[in-house]
Amino acid sequence: MQYFDTHAHIGLIYDDPIEQLIVTQEAKQAGVMKIVSICNSLPDFFQVYDNLKTASHVYHAIGVSPSEVQNPGKDWLQKIEKEATRERIVAIGEIGLDYYRKFGDKKSQIELFIDQLELAQKLDLPVIIHNREAGKDVLDILRDRLPEAGGILHCYSEDADYAVRALEQNLYISFAGNLTYRNARNLHDTARIVPLDRILIESESPFMVPADYRGKRNMPAYLPSTAKCLAEIRQEPVEEVAAAVYANALKIFGIKE
Protein backbone atom coordinates (compact mmCIF):
# COMPACT_ATOMS: atom_id res chain seq x y z
CA MET A 1 0.00 0.00 0.00
CA GLN A 2 1.03 3.58 -0.58
CA TYR A 3 -0.05 6.72 1.23
CA PHE A 4 -0.10 10.48 0.62
CA ASP A 5 0.45 12.78 3.59
CA THR A 6 -1.44 15.89 2.56
CA HIS A 7 -0.30 18.07 5.48
CA ALA A 8 3.00 17.91 7.35
CA HIS A 9 4.86 20.71 9.12
CA ILE A 10 8.27 19.26 8.36
CA GLY A 11 10.02 22.45 9.42
CA LEU A 12 8.51 22.13 12.90
CA ILE A 13 9.67 18.54 13.35
CA TYR A 14 13.34 19.44 13.02
CA ASP A 15 15.24 22.61 12.16
CA ASP A 16 18.20 20.78 10.67
CA PRO A 17 18.01 20.26 6.87
CA ILE A 18 19.55 16.77 7.04
CA GLU A 19 17.07 15.68 9.70
CA GLN A 20 14.22 17.03 7.59
CA LEU A 21 15.39 14.94 4.64
CA ILE A 22 15.68 11.89 6.89
CA VAL A 23 12.07 12.41 8.02
CA THR A 24 10.87 12.33 4.41
CA GLN A 25 12.93 9.24 3.61
CA GLU A 26 11.67 7.39 6.69
CA ALA A 27 8.15 8.24 5.59
CA LYS A 28 8.81 6.73 2.17
CA GLN A 29 10.09 3.56 3.78
CA ALA A 30 6.78 3.35 5.67
CA GLY A 31 4.83 3.61 2.40
CA VAL A 32 4.17 7.36 2.56
CA MET A 33 5.21 8.04 -1.02
CA LYS A 34 4.23 11.71 -1.22
CA ILE A 35 4.04 14.55 1.29
CA VAL A 36 2.80 18.13 1.12
CA SER A 37 4.98 20.37 3.28
CA ILE A 38 3.12 23.13 5.10
CA CYS A 39 4.51 26.36 6.57
CA ASN A 40 2.68 29.11 8.42
CA SER A 41 4.83 31.99 7.22
CA LEU A 42 6.79 32.95 4.11
CA PRO A 43 10.23 32.95 5.81
CA ASP A 44 9.58 29.40 7.02
CA PHE A 45 8.40 28.37 3.57
CA PHE A 46 11.57 29.59 1.86
CA GLN A 47 13.78 27.82 4.38
CA VAL A 48 12.00 24.46 4.22
CA TYR A 49 11.61 24.60 0.45
CA ASP A 50 15.34 25.13 0.03
CA ASN A 51 16.13 22.38 2.54
CA LEU A 52 14.00 19.87 0.64
CA LYS A 53 14.97 20.75 -2.93
CA THR A 54 16.34 17.26 -3.54
CA ALA A 55 13.28 15.48 -2.11
CA SER A 56 11.26 15.08 -5.30
CA HIS A 57 8.46 13.24 -3.47
CA VAL A 58 7.82 16.28 -1.27
CA TYR A 59 5.42 18.91 -2.58
CA HIS A 60 4.72 22.30 -1.05
CA ALA A 61 1.95 24.72 -0.17
CA ILE A 62 2.66 28.44 0.12
CA GLY A 63 0.62 30.89 2.13
CA VAL A 64 0.21 32.89 5.32
CA SER A 65 -1.75 31.28 8.14
CA PRO A 66 -3.98 33.22 10.57
CA SER A 67 -1.24 32.93 13.20
CA GLU A 68 0.77 35.46 11.16
CA VAL A 69 -2.03 37.95 10.60
CA GLN A 70 -0.34 40.71 12.61
CA ASN A 71 2.90 40.43 10.66
CA PRO A 72 2.49 38.70 7.27
CA GLY A 73 5.59 40.45 5.93
CA LYS A 74 6.26 43.20 3.42
CA ASP A 75 4.54 42.71 0.05
CA TRP A 76 3.50 39.26 1.22
CA LEU A 77 0.69 38.75 -1.30
CA GLN A 78 2.88 39.74 -4.25
CA LYS A 79 5.58 37.37 -3.00
CA ILE A 80 3.15 34.47 -2.84
CA GLU A 81 1.97 35.18 -6.38
CA LYS A 82 5.55 35.29 -7.66
CA GLU A 83 6.85 32.26 -5.77
CA ALA A 84 3.81 30.05 -6.44
CA THR A 85 5.32 29.25 -9.84
CA ARG A 86 8.13 27.30 -8.19
CA GLU A 87 8.44 23.60 -8.93
CA ARG A 88 6.24 21.25 -6.90
CA ILE A 89 4.05 23.95 -5.34
CA VAL A 90 0.55 22.49 -5.40
CA ALA A 91 -1.63 24.66 -3.15
CA ILE A 92 -2.13 27.93 -1.32
CA GLY A 93 -2.07 27.24 2.40
CA GLU A 94 -2.51 26.83 5.05
CA ILE A 95 -4.94 29.72 5.21
CA GLY A 96 -8.14 30.25 7.12
CA LEU A 97 -9.52 31.46 10.41
CA ASP A 98 -8.60 30.73 14.03
CA TYR A 99 -10.83 32.28 16.66
CA TYR A 100 -9.53 30.02 19.43
CA ARG A 101 -6.15 31.69 19.84
CA LYS A 102 -7.46 35.10 18.78
CA PHE A 103 -4.63 35.99 16.42
CA GLY A 104 -5.22 39.68 15.77
CA ASP A 105 -8.87 40.60 15.28
CA LYS A 106 -11.51 38.76 13.27
CA LYS A 107 -11.70 41.44 10.60
CA SER A 108 -7.96 41.20 9.89
CA GLN A 109 -8.07 37.41 9.78
CA ILE A 110 -10.97 37.46 7.35
CA GLU A 111 -9.20 39.95 5.08
CA LEU A 112 -6.04 37.80 5.09
CA PHE A 113 -8.14 34.74 4.25
CA ILE A 114 -10.09 36.38 1.42
CA ASP A 115 -7.00 37.92 -0.18
CA GLN A 116 -5.43 34.47 -0.46
CA LEU A 117 -8.61 32.81 -1.70
CA GLU A 118 -8.78 35.37 -4.49
CA LEU A 119 -5.13 34.78 -5.33
CA ALA A 120 -5.67 31.02 -5.41
CA GLN A 121 -8.48 31.55 -7.91
CA LYS A 122 -6.17 33.70 -10.04
CA LEU A 123 -3.41 31.07 -9.89
CA ASP A 124 -5.80 28.12 -10.37
CA LEU A 125 -4.57 26.41 -7.22
CA PRO A 126 -6.54 24.62 -4.48
CA VAL A 127 -6.50 25.93 -0.93
CA ILE A 128 -5.66 24.21 2.34
CA ILE A 129 -7.97 25.58 5.00
CA HIS A 130 -7.38 25.99 8.73
CA ASN A 131 -10.53 26.26 10.82
CA ARG A 132 -10.54 26.50 14.58
CA GLU A 133 -13.74 27.64 16.25
CA ALA A 134 -14.58 29.65 13.13
CA GLY A 135 -16.69 27.13 11.24
CA LYS A 136 -19.62 29.37 10.30
CA ASP A 137 -17.45 32.19 8.98
CA VAL A 138 -15.23 29.75 7.06
CA LEU A 139 -18.17 28.17 5.22
CA ASP A 140 -19.89 31.50 4.62
CA ILE A 141 -16.74 32.91 3.00
CA LEU A 142 -16.08 29.79 0.97
CA ARG A 143 -19.59 29.79 -0.50
CA ASP A 144 -18.69 32.89 -2.47
CA ARG A 145 -14.91 32.64 -2.78
CA LEU A 146 -13.77 29.02 -2.94
CA PRO A 147 -11.43 28.72 -5.96
CA GLU A 148 -12.59 26.55 -8.82
CA ALA A 149 -9.65 24.26 -8.08
CA GLY A 150 -11.32 23.40 -4.76
CA GLY A 151 -10.04 23.09 -1.25
CA ILE A 152 -9.27 20.93 1.75
CA LEU A 153 -10.68 21.30 5.25
CA HIS A 154 -7.53 20.08 6.95
CA CYS A 155 -7.32 18.36 10.35
CA TYR A 156 -11.11 18.18 10.38
CA SER A 157 -12.62 18.96 13.79
CA GLU A 158 -16.28 19.80 13.13
CA ASP A 159 -19.21 17.38 13.25
CA ALA A 160 -20.95 15.29 10.59
CA ASP A 161 -23.65 17.89 9.90
CA TYR A 162 -20.99 20.49 9.13
CA ALA A 163 -19.30 18.03 6.76
CA VAL A 164 -22.55 17.55 4.86
CA ARG A 165 -22.79 21.31 4.31
CA ALA A 166 -19.13 21.56 3.37
CA LEU A 167 -19.47 18.79 0.79
CA GLU A 168 -22.01 20.89 -1.09
CA GLN A 169 -18.90 22.75 -2.27
CA ASN A 170 -15.77 21.42 -3.96
CA LEU A 171 -14.15 20.55 -0.64
CA TYR A 172 -12.34 17.52 0.70
CA ILE A 173 -12.37 16.44 4.33
CA SER A 174 -8.91 15.60 5.68
CA PHE A 175 -8.51 13.49 8.82
CA ALA A 176 -5.43 13.59 11.04
CA GLY A 177 -4.20 11.46 13.93
CA ASN A 178 -6.95 12.67 16.25
CA LEU A 179 -9.29 10.40 14.28
CA THR A 180 -7.64 7.51 16.14
CA TYR A 181 -8.64 8.79 19.59
CA ARG A 182 -11.40 6.79 21.27
CA ASN A 183 -13.29 9.86 22.46
CA ALA A 184 -13.32 11.56 19.01
CA ARG A 185 -16.87 10.43 18.31
CA ASN A 186 -17.75 13.43 16.17
CA LEU A 187 -14.85 12.55 13.86
CA HIS A 188 -15.80 8.88 13.78
CA ASP A 189 -19.38 9.78 12.85
CA THR A 190 -18.08 12.10 10.13
CA ALA A 191 -15.68 9.51 8.73
CA ARG A 192 -18.57 7.09 8.30
CA ILE A 193 -20.76 9.43 6.26
CA VAL A 194 -18.29 11.28 4.03
CA PRO A 195 -18.07 9.69 0.55
CA LEU A 196 -14.75 7.92 0.13
CA ASP A 197 -13.92 10.01 -2.93
CA ARG A 198 -13.94 13.18 -0.79
CA ILE A 199 -11.63 11.99 2.01
CA LEU A 200 -7.94 12.74 2.54
CA ILE A 201 -5.57 11.84 5.36
CA GLU A 202 -2.71 13.82 6.85
CA SER A 203 -0.17 13.54 9.61
CA GLU A 204 -0.38 17.19 10.73
CA SER A 205 3.04 16.36 12.14
CA PRO A 206 4.54 17.14 14.57
CA PHE A 207 1.06 17.51 16.09
CA MET A 208 -1.92 15.15 16.38
CA VAL A 209 0.10 11.98 16.83
CA PRO A 210 -1.99 8.81 16.30
CA ALA A 211 -2.99 6.87 19.41
CA ASP A 212 -0.53 4.08 18.57
CA TYR A 213 2.33 6.55 19.02
CA ARG A 214 1.10 8.61 21.95
CA GLY A 215 3.94 10.35 23.75
CA LYS A 216 6.07 10.68 20.62
CA ARG A 217 6.59 13.59 18.26
CA ASN A 218 4.38 12.93 15.25
CA MET A 219 5.99 12.02 11.94
CA PRO A 220 4.67 11.45 8.39
CA ALA A 221 5.82 7.84 8.77
CA TYR A 222 2.99 7.29 11.25
CA LEU A 223 0.30 8.06 8.66
CA PRO A 224 -0.56 4.39 7.95
CA SER A 225 -1.96 4.17 11.48
CA THR A 226 -4.55 6.84 10.62
CA ALA A 227 -5.41 5.06 7.37
CA LYS A 228 -5.94 1.80 9.25
CA CYS A 229 -8.23 3.50 11.77
CA LEU A 230 -10.22 5.18 8.98
CA ALA A 231 -10.78 1.82 7.30
CA GLU A 232 -11.89 0.23 10.57
CA ILE A 233 -14.37 3.02 11.28
CA ARG A 234 -15.83 2.74 7.79
CA GLN A 235 -15.70 -1.09 7.90
CA GLU A 236 -13.95 -1.17 4.55
CA PRO A 237 -10.74 -2.96 3.50
CA VAL A 238 -7.72 -0.84 4.34
CA GLU A 239 -6.28 -1.52 0.88
CA GLU A 240 -9.32 0.08 -0.77
CA VAL A 241 -9.35 3.04 1.59
CA ALA A 242 -5.62 3.68 1.18
CA ALA A 243 -5.87 3.52 -2.61
CA ALA A 244 -8.88 5.85 -2.69
CA VAL A 245 -7.45 8.57 -0.46
CA TYR A 246 -4.15 8.42 -2.35
CA ALA A 247 -6.00 8.94 -5.64
CA ASN A 248 -8.01 11.78 -4.08
CA ALA A 249 -4.81 13.57 -3.08
CA LEU A 250 -3.37 13.27 -6.59
CA LYS A 251 -6.61 14.72 -7.97
CA ILE A 252 -6.98 17.74 -5.68
CA PHE A 253 -3.31 18.68 -6.08
CA GLY A 254 -3.26 18.07 -9.82
CA ILE A 255 -0.39 15.60 -9.63
CA LYS A 256 0.03 13.07 -12.42
CA GLU A 257 1.95 9.83 -12.00
| Residue 27 phi, psi (nearest 5) | -60, -45
State yes or no: pLDDT of 210 exceeds 90.
yes
pLDDT of residue 102: 80
DSSP string, 216-245: S---GGGHHHHHHHHHHHHTS-HHHHHHHH
Domain holding 247: CATH number? 3.20.20.140
Instruction: Count Cα neighbours of 122 within 13 Å in the Cβ-side half-sphere.
Output: 13
Whole-angstrom distance, CA of residue 217 vs CA of residue 239? 26
**What integer is the mean pLDDT of 216-232?**
98
1, 12 contact by CB (below 8 A): no
**Domain total of the chain:** 1
CA distances from residue 154 to 87, 119, 127, 128, 203 in whole angstroms, order as listed: 23, 19, 10, 6, 10
- Per-residue CA distances from 245 to 20, 87, 161 (Å): 25, 23, 21
Q: Containing domain of residue 13, as a range? A: 3-253
Stated pTM of the model: 0.97
What is residue 154's predicted lDDT score, i.e. its pLDDT?
98
Taking the C-alpha atoms of residue 92 and residue 104, their distance in angstroms, rounded to an integer, is 21
Lowest model confidence (mean pLDDT) among 30-34, 69-73, 137-141: 69-73
Tell me: the pLDDT tens digits for 91-126?
999 999 999 988 889 999 999 999 999 999 999 999
Q: How confident is the model over 178-201, as a mean pLDDT? A: 97
Mean per-residue pLDDT, 147-159: 97
When the pLDDT of each residue in the chain is averaged and rounded to a whole number, the result is 97
- d(CA 3, CA 155) in angstroms, rounded, equals 16
Q: Is the pLDDT of residue 257 over 90?
A: no
| Residue-wise pLDDT tens digits, 38-60 | 999 999 999 999 999 999 999 99
